[in-house]
Amino acid sequence: MSKQIEIKDLDIYYGSFRAVEGVSMLIEPRTVTALIGPSGCGKSTVLRSLNRMHEVIPGAYVDGSVMMDGQDIYGAGVDPVNVRRQVGMVFQRANPFPTMSIKENVLAGVRLNNQRISRKDADDLAERALRGANLWEEVKDRLDLPGSGLSGGQQQRLCIARAIAVQPEVILMDEPCSALDPISTLAIEDLIAELKNEYTVVIVTHNMQQAARVSDRTGFFNIAGTGKPGKLIEYNDTEIIFSNPEKDDTQNYVSGRFG
Ligand SMILES: Nc1ncnc2c1ncn2[C@@H]1O[C@H](COP(=O)(O)OP(=O)(O)OP(=O)(O)O)[C@@H](O)[C@H]1O
Ligand SMILES: [Mg+2]
């Protein structure tokens, strides 16, 4: 269920603009990896390259490879739709479909994949996904009411339930807590800690405490200046990145001296 990700010499472009240069990272299954760094250094760009969402943007492409359990997701003949089924994504702002019920929101990805399932199986799957997202107890009595009626933190967990309902191997999260209050943030962080038992999790966060709390490994990205490509400056165990990093830039960033 959980895959290893090996990024090798990855350059990521928007047309002629090279937004990210020379990224190599080995991400082990059943771990949480945090991507940190100042705004514009390419964290979201790197994250989106891991499920081929990057290419959805006209003129955008990558050079290099991203291997999942040894298979290049950019290899010839690989269907990006299939990649996105295996690598789920949760965005900064919870984006449930507003008119859809809570249950149908959870099943939306499954329906998109044209998987035909019986009503009973659909109910079971929705329950499992909602339990997996720590939301079941809060919504079990209102599954047929609109997803938009939930609080922000609940909506974000609903989106996580939607992501895990398709049974991915990897879950990507781009600042999943930035629009949430501290209590909801802690709920999501607890959930991330649980998700790692089954999935490879990669999370972008601006919150240093969060990176330190939830991740096993941390990658620090930076840019030399406007228009320059973002680079992975340092990648190591989270504890080392936050207590004793190798590079001065990393030290300055994690101690809040810039960015
Ligand atoms: N759709 C796009 N088209 C063109 N350039 C883009 C696009 N999205 C991002 N970029 C550029 O790529 C670079 C990296 O952007 P990215 O969004 O990955 O940064 P980030 O580290 O996630 O920043 P933030 O912390 O602000 O979210 C920036 O220079 C940005 O302007
Ligand atoms: Mg971003």
What is the domain-level CATH number for residue 63? 3.40.50.300
**Torsion sign (Cα): 95, 99, 103, 108:** negative
Contact of 151 with 50, CB cutoff 8 Å: no
Query: How many A from CA of 45 to the centre of ligand 1?
Result: 6
Q: Assess if residue 58 is contained within a domain.
A: yes
Please write the tens of the pLDDT for every residue from 233-252: 999 999 999 999 999 999 99
| Domain membership flag for residue 49 | yes
Q: Name residues contacting ligand 1 (CB within 6 A).
A: 14, 19, 39-45, 57, 230
Q: In what order do the strands lie in the sheet with 200-204?
A: 71-72, 60-68, 5-14, 17-27, 230-237, 217-223, 32-36, 200-204, 170-174, 87-90
Domain hosting residue 56, numbered range:
5-96+168-254
DSSP annotation of 75: S
Q: E strand or H helix at 130, and its extent?
A: helix 119-132
How much is the pTM?
0.94
Query: Looking at the predicted structure, is the pLDDT value of residue 115 above 80?
Result: no
Tokens standing for residue 93: 């702002």
Query: Would 121 be classed as within a structural domain?
Result: no
State mean pLDDT over 90-99.
90
Residue having the nearest C-alpha atom to atom 18 of ligand 1: 42
Total domains present in the chain: 1
Reading the block at residue 242, the tokens are 């936050």
Give per-residue pLDDT as tens, 54-77: 999 999 999 999 999 999 999 999
- Listed residue (156, 155, 186) closest to 171, CA to CA: 156
Q: Is residue 75 part of a domain?
A: yes
Looking at the predicted structure, is the pLDDT value of residue 107 above 90?
yes
Query: Does any domain span residue 118?
Result: no
Report if residue 123 sits inside a domain.
Answer: no
Give the per-residue pLDDT at 184. Answer: 87
> What is the pLDDT, as a whole number, of residue 259?
65
Phi, psi (rounded to 5 degrees) for 222: -155, 165
Q: Is residue 146 part of a domain?
A: no
**CA torsion 68→71→73→77, rounded to 10°?**
-160
Residue 33's pLDDT band (cuts 50, 70, 90): very high
What gap in Å lies between CA 230 and CA 69, rounded to an integer? 26
- Give the ligand whose atoms come closest to the C-alpha of residue 55: 1
Q: Which two tokens stand for residue 22?
A: 């020379």
Residue 157 lies in a domain: no
Q: What is the DSSP string of 91-120?
A: -SS----TTSBHHHHHHHHHHHTT----HH
